[in-house]
Structure 1
Amino acid sequence: MNPTVHLIDDDTDFREGLAWLLDSRGLPTRSWTGGDTFLQALRSGEVPNACSVVLLDIRMEPLSGLATFEQLKALAWPWPVLFLTGHGDVSMAVAAVKNGAWDFLEKPFQNNLLVDKVEAARQAAVTLHIESQDRLRFQQALAALSAREREVLTELLQGHYNKNIADHLGITQRTVEFHRANIFEKLQVQSAVELAHRMGLLGSGT
């Protein structure tokens, strides 16, 4: 997987120079003249909401970097956003990080430092993608459980033993063991503790 870096800056010279730098390091880059054009492309489907990184200047016209970031959040954009900021805007960038941005970099910056941060953000995007795919597979496997398996699952999550589950559901303990084994296999877990952990993660949206 090779996440694209979406470079959004309204300063043509700076944007082109930065795009050249990233291209020279082998990082796939797509440049945008402003947050409004990027958001329009995202909403229209020209840009898929796919594994990528946004490199976003904090001061732009007509739509600022912060306003662009807020709209990205409203669109449930999950991928890392790295702000580029001037010295006077560091406090805004720090606030943006607290509000969910991935990181920021103050201008002027060293080329190697920028590339290292962008590469770290790309790796974070890959990790997010893998976790998202894993969560989706778990959700699909969960939805595919039979009605009886879902009943046994509920009992397991309440910490009940096989004998208690059998009594509660009016089935034999051997049948409970059979369903339990099927549930573990379908959901790719090794224990009730791991199952509870996965269900907890699903419930918290992480």
Structure 2
Amino acid sequence: MAAPSGVIHVVDDDSSVRDALHRLLSALGFEVRLYASAGDYLLAWSGDSPGCLLLDVRMPGPSGLDLQLALMRRPDALPVVFITGFGNIPMSVLAIRRGAVDFLTKPIDRDALISAVTTAIERDANRRESELMKQHIRRNFSSLTPRERSVFEQVVAGRLNKQIAASLSTCERTVKAHRAHVMEKFNVHSVAQLVHLAVQLELDTASRSESSAVGEEKTAA
């Protein structure tokens, strides 16, 4: 099986562990980058390339859990797979609850490692694909005229053409024309598809508003 496309970022203060992981993962076809500390990773990481983070728990300076917590504030953070020689159940539960893909103990089982990093890279690829879809939907929504946007909002709310026409003080033929333009801009062919896009817009808007509110609260604190 070919390795999924993406970069595995290995963060571990033990050079022998870094080198061993690099040899193993590179031989399997993965692209691997090595870092001796959480700080080194943060300085080098741009977030542009898909992949995952293979992260040691205990390191001098910020720990792996500290880095995971910091990355949780970034919408483009890579999925995390933890590796540790000193793990315990509360630590693994915390890591998983924060979104880690897996929590592996050293010496690391080869098959478990491959499964974890493959899952992590695929999760990141799905996130990126979803974000591209959201951007596409937002662009299409922004292209609507004020009247088209009004028709869109009422159509997805389940209102009939004659009800929309009455609320906009226009005729049904005009509403049908606007509705056709809306569906053309979104490249959909049914009201059900339009409603699905509306749900995505609402979820996306709510998510971005929540993230903004969290950022403002942290800034104020």
- What SS does the aligned partner of 2:18 have? helix
Q: Is the 8 A contact 2:101 2:119 kept in 1?
A: no
Q: Aligned-pair distance for 1:90?
A: 3.7
Partner of 2:151: 152
Q: Which amino acid aligns with 2:92?
A: A
Partner of 1:15: 18
Q: Distance in 1 between matches of 2:102 and 2:187?
A: 34
Q: Aligned-pair distance for 1:148?
A: 1.1
Q: TM-score, normalised by structure 2?
A: 0.84
> CA distance change for structure 1 residues 38 and 187 in 2, over 3 Å: closer, same or farther?
same
- What SS does the aligned partner of 1:30 have? strand
What are structure 2's unaligned runs of at least 5 residues?
208-221
> CA distance change for structure 1 residues 93 and 105 in 2, over 3 Å: closer, same or farther?
same
Between the two proteins, the alignment pairs up a number of residues equal to: 202
Partner of 1:111: 110
Say yes or no: does 1:40 pair with 2:39: no
Q: Is the 8 A contact 1:39 1:72 kept in 2?
A: no
What root-mean-square deviation, in Å, do the aligned CA atoms of Structure 1 and Structure 2 show? Answer: 1.8
Q: Distance in 2 between matches of 1:66 and 1:143?
A: 39
Structure 1, residues 2-42: CA drift from partner, whole Å, max 9, x if none? 21111111111001100111100000111111111111223
Q: TM-score, normalised by structure 1?
A: 0.90
Structure 1, residues 165-195: CA drift from partner, whole Å, max 9, x if none? 1111122212211211221221233332332
Q: Is the 8 A contact 2:101 2:116 kept in 1?
A: no
Q: Is the 8 A contact 1:79 1:128 kept in 2?
A: no
Partner of 1:77: 76
Partner of 2:98: 99
Q: Distance in 2 between matches of 1:199 and 1:29?
A: 40
Partner of 2:54: 55
Partner of 2:9: 6
Structure 1, residues 33-87: CA drift from partner, whole Å, max 9, x if none? 1111111223xxxx33432211111111111000011111123334311111335
Structure 1, residues 90-125: CA drift from partner, whole Å, max 9, x if none? 421221211222222222222122112211211121
Identity of aligned residues (%): 32
Q: Is the 8 A contact 1:90 1:106 kept in 2?
A: no
> CA distance change for structure 1 residues 9 and 54 in 2, over 3 Å: closer, same or farther?
same
Say yes or no: does 1:24 pair with 2:23: no
Q: Which moved more, 1:113-122 or 1:191-200?
A: 191-200
Q: Which amino acid aligns with 1:11?
A: D
